[in-house]
Structure 1
């Protein structure tokens, strides 16, 4: 069992484990709503739309978190404005702003002498460089995410399934949507500097999508998504340690693999149910 336990006895791997577990829970809470509401494209655009703010903050020596948050808010406001003031669909507005923000960020980063390193760090993060301060930040973000999830649960549920009914019930779907976007922003901004945008997006989508194939209740999806994300974190770190692969990318790949395993398992389950169901008249 040494191959299973020895890696986590190393300090930086243990911190990476805790960081990944905290990110998994945060992304499980926010990602459930992303999956249920079909907001995957928007969350991807928000994750990559942070690059201009991060790049400017890096060049000016400012706070990367503040730069990421401001850039993400600008992306969200831009999508909202385009969808309300033009004949373009929301997907079109998201796509245009996605490309525009990402290319702007790359142009800004290209002025840095460490262009390749900066961009790679933004995309893939450095989960093995997680510090104690990062863990405290993630713990605070998790507490806030839990608070928003509990307080606005009814509004989120109504918004996810019937916006008009939510308005009829006085649940203020506009406010609920804004808070839901804020929850998504919190998950992305709090996690990206630790694990990179690709890993954040992988943990936002893959675990909740995998669990949604098996669970009908939203809390069950959230809990299952956090467990699957935690499994991906442990498995990815072990594979990375023993095979020498990039830790963040390996965790993201493991999470996506869990989704496809879940899909295959549901196909087998449905096939067995169909086979076991007796035909009428027999």
Structure 2
């Protein structure tokens, strides 16, 4: 038991745990809709599209968080604008902006020879460097995500399952899509400092996908994703502490591993049920006792 809890007696590991839990809650709210609407490519593109803003902010000595937020908002607005074109599919517009933003970021980075360390932190994060100010920002981001998720829930449900019905009911599917895009943007921007842009995708997709296999309602998927994401944070930090691995990567790898465990369990469960039914059918009938015979007669 000491091996499980000793690492969390260290202050910076405690902050990392709280930071990972807050990120898991934010990603559960946004990632559920990403999974249900099939927007995984958008989540990946959003995480990489922040690179130009982060690069400019680093070169100017400004806040990386603000730079990432501005780049992500520009990406979201670009996706929304291009989606209005009837000749461009959503994947095409996302792909074009993804490549354009990433290329611009690489060009900016190539002009600075001292940006390599910051770029590594951007890609892979540094969950063990979470400060109290970061926890406050994550808490505020979680509050904002809750407001968006609760306020737009009805519109999000209609948009995810029947966009035509959303139009019929007057739920403004375009506005709902923009709000959902804002929720995903918020999750990516708030999380990149903790687990990095390459790894935030794991917490955004894996826990909701794992929970969706078992849950029968959208709130249940969100709760399950939050629990799985928090568990991934706890286990990932333990693995990082005892094995000396990268903390952010360990958290995301654990989340992905839990997804595959969930998939395997869902495949095994029907087989076990069929095996139990077969055994019950093949079992000999129970013997009839004397008093039962008299009752029958």
Q: Which runs of 5+ in 2 are unaligned?
A: 283-297
Distance in 1 (CA, whole Å) between partners of 2:110 and 2:240 is: 29
CA RMSD of aligned residues (A): 1.7
Q: Is the 8 A contact 2:76 2:185 kept in 1?
A: no
C-alpha distance after superposition, 1:58-86 (max 9, x if no partner) = 11122222211221122222223333336
Paired residues in the alignment total 280
> What is aligned with 2:105?
105
Q: Is the 8 A contact 2:141 2:190 kept in 1?
A: yes
Distance in 1 (CA, whole Å) between partners of 2:128 and 2:163 is: 42
> What is aligned with 1:225?
225
Distance in 2 (CA, whole Å) between partners of 1:3 and 1:275 is: 39
> What is aligned with 1:167?
167
> What is aligned with 1:85?
85
C-alpha distance after superposition, 1:73-127 (max 9, x if no partner) = 2222222333333633221222222122112212212222333212211111100
Distance in 2 (CA, whole Å) between partners of 1:264 and 1:18 is: 30
> What is aligned with 1:267?
267
Q: Which runs of 5+ in 1 are unaligned?
A: none
> What is aligned with 2:48?
48
> What is aligned with 1:2?
2
| 1:114 aligned onto 2:114 | yes
Distance in 2 (CA, whole Å) between partners of 1:177 and 1:83 is: 10
In structure 2, do the counterparts of structure 1 residues 178 and 80 end up closer, same or farther at CA, with 3 Å as the change threshold? closer
Question: For the pair shown, which has the larger CA radius of gyration, 1 or 2?
Answer: 2
Q: Is the 8 A contact 2:52 2:108 kept in 1?
A: yes
**More deviation, 61-70/86-95:** 86-95
Q: Is the 8 A contact 1:45 1:94 kept in 2?
A: yes
> What is aligned with 1:195?
195
Q: Is the 8 A contact 1:198 1:249 kept in 2?
A: no
Q: Is the 8 A contact 1:198 1:252 kept in 2?
A: no
| 1:144 aligned onto 2:144 | yes
Distance in 2 (CA, whole Å) between partners of 1:131 and 1:66 is: 17
Distance in 1 (CA, whole Å) between partners of 2:87 and 2:105 is: 27
Q: Is the 8 A contact 1:109 1:118 kept in 2?
A: no
Distance in 2 (CA, whole Å) between partners of 1:36 and 1:270 is: 24
Q: Is the 8 A contact 2:55 2:109 kept in 1?
A: yes
